Structure 1
């Protein structure tokens, strides 16, 4: 594993390009095919710089070069060449077409005993491992993307670009529900190997391609703090240590109100909910988080089941499992992540620690139907807001000292 940069640095473009060239010069890639996995537009990352550097380092050496956008279950991207800074000669850029069963190759299963171990007995059953066949059909898989605090796995990046980035529904559901059982507030920002990280590492061990990663840490003022190169575990772990030093803001005491200014790269609540995940740890009991995003008009077009179940705490589902086990567990996980900590019992109903209010273009009746508060965004004075205002919400994690 090697790295350029660190928490106290912002790299120049030339430093990034030189490091990528030096790193890939030693890669056994001559005459072999390479699949480059990159994030979609919901991740802040100078992809044109990085993919351009990768292309310069590999073009003419490799037999085939494919760039695969790791959508997870996000909507398909358009203008793919523009997204990665192309077009590039002899290079194909494709979406991960998660909606098409023909997309996937079957790699085997993770056995039930391992799932029971990772979940401390709360989950059981073999997990089928399916992966985009573009990864399987290439000799080398190269992950290129950012590492930052994440609500499901602890820190994003590394093998997460395979699972759930270009994975089948089965392991997506299990990994996300496992994270939900642990809870977002407990797992987010954890730099070690969380149970969810261990699960996706197990899935990655089944990949026949040789896997490497250029794991980057973005700087809030633009550019990159660092780039780490190595296998998908060591490069991720190194970048996670840099992210922990740069992407976490510590407060001395809880706050009663938070106004999260959700950037336009999050086009629906499915992704815009990061504006809640990243601040939940610092909100006082009974406090409120307002997601301010006038541009958002929908909860999740690709996941209509969220309209059916609404937003609730973890125990609301686990204590009524017979009602909800048929719902995609990834949807249930998203629901619990946005609603945060709470309790449910048949006698007392649901009691939630934090109030969540949408100041979006989603109508008040829809908000009420899914158990969220509503606020007309036109009534909010951002400059005069009495509470914590978070610009570009969803990137910086807030914690109490």
Structure 2
């Protein structure tokens, strides 16, 4: 049975919570951690939420704690510089050094062994049990569970983050802010590759997935008490806030997300122009413009990632991605000796962007075509095994209001999931 929530607020359908409702829902946190050292885990700029507003409310509500730090749960995303950190939480440079000088603001450092501590191991046998039919020997052996030392030095962990349909874990949020949010590379790689083996179409928008189970298994090894503030974002506001333990609050948020963030369509589309917003400043994150639309794309169809602002594949992982390109899971599994040196998380990203497919007589057969319309040029796209279109030749309005022709325009892609109705 789920644990009762500390507090919650949910707006009626098509409405948003007021600032007063949000503040009242967070108010029960006051006095809960008095005198203790609290570490708040927050997302970076690639997630939509009114973080500057929530940051100020939390600082006010938690004014009686002994120490209050905020850490950006980056996973493997690039670290934010000082200006980016201030913009993320809505502080001026002057406020940083005056009113909020007592608040710590940090990045997670997944590649720095000195920043990480081991809290335990998930055995290979347990990974096999969790993975079930998705198990594959490429997942490897026992998984070392490491996370940022700051999480162990704190008396309390508070996770503040949104929940959306997610390509790797089913629905984001909750303990995902630990793994991969502030974890070492081992859990990052294994969870993402397990998600790839399960496929985007077999994972996204589902609550109960092997990856979610593996993340919760690892979270049990974390000794620091954890409280979750799970958010359901709609537009620029909040449709729901759920405060409680990291499983119950996440579960409630995922239930609401399934009603707010999934669009059901009558039949799959032959061509989709999926507009990646500027917050996705690398293809590593702009790939979400593919993930969220893949289930609504017909076999043999084409999805265009339209990102005229984008000129970078990945600052952190670009070298590997250019080496391997974008391919389907069978492409890698059937040539494993060629690719076993590549981090599993990178292989997973490749397959998520390229979509599912088959391997027949030594040839890869992707289910769909993926075309990139960005500042990444035609030669690079060819090396990456993606189609290319000059973004300056595209007018998104040419794709508007053509659903009856099998053509769909999504003006802000990456967070809303599109699915075909069952039986359609």
Whether 1:400 and 2:414 are equivalent positions in the alignment is no
Matched with 1:97 is 109
Whether 1:47 and 2:51 are equivalent positions in the alignment is yes
**Partner Cα separation in structure 1 for residue 196 and residue 251 of structure 2:** 22
SS at match of 2:75: coil
Deviations 1:324-376, CA, capped at 9 Å, x for gaps: 1211000000000000010113x250101110000000010110011100000
Q: Which moved more, 1:198-207 or 1:330-339?
A: 198-207
Matched with 1:335 is 350
Which residue among 397, 400, 409 is the counterpart of 1:389?
409
**Partner Cα separation in structure 2 for residue 124 and residue 382 of structure 1:** 44
**Partner Cα separation in structure 2 for residue 85 and residue 15 of structure 1:** 21
Change (3 A) 1:156 1:332: same
Whether 1:157 and 2:178 are equivalent positions in the alignment is no
Matched with 1:325 is 340
Matched with 1:64 is 67
**Partner Cα separation in structure 2 for residue 206 and residue 367 of structure 1:** 42
TM-score (norm 1): 0.96
Segments of 4+ moved more than 2 angstroms? 85-89
Which residue among 61, 78, 86 is the counterpart of 1:81?
86
TM-score (norm 2): 0.91
**Partner Cα separation in structure 2 for residue 275 and residue 150 of structure 1:** 12
Shift of 1:97: 1.8
**Partner Cα separation in structure 2 for residue 52 and residue 140 of structure 1:** 19
2:111–2:185: 8 Å Cα contact kept in structure 1? no
Which residue among 203, 214, 219 is the counterpart of 1:199?
214
Shift of 1:96: 0.7
**Partner Cα separation in structure 1 for residue 252 and residue 67 of structure 2:** 29
**Partner Cα separation in structure 2 for residue 166 and residue 124 of structure 1:** 22
**Partner Cα separation in structure 2 for residue 253 and residue 207 of structure 1:** 44
CA RMSD of aligned residues (A): 1.2
Residues 343-354 of structure 1 correspond to what in structure 2 (within 5 A)?
Answer: 343-345=358-360, 347-354=361-368
Structure 2: give runs of 5+ residues left out of the alignment: none
Residues 147-296 of structure 1 correspond to what in structure 2 (within 5 A)?
Answer: 147-191=163-207, 193-220=208-235, 222-296=236-310
SS at match of 1:394: coil
1:217–1:226: 8 Å Cα contact kept in structure 2? yes
1:132–1:166: 8 Å Cα contact kept in structure 2? yes
**Partner Cα separation in structure 2 for residue 85 and residue 162 of structure 1:** 24
Shift of 1:124: 4.2
Matched with 2:41 is 37
Shift of 1:89: 4.3
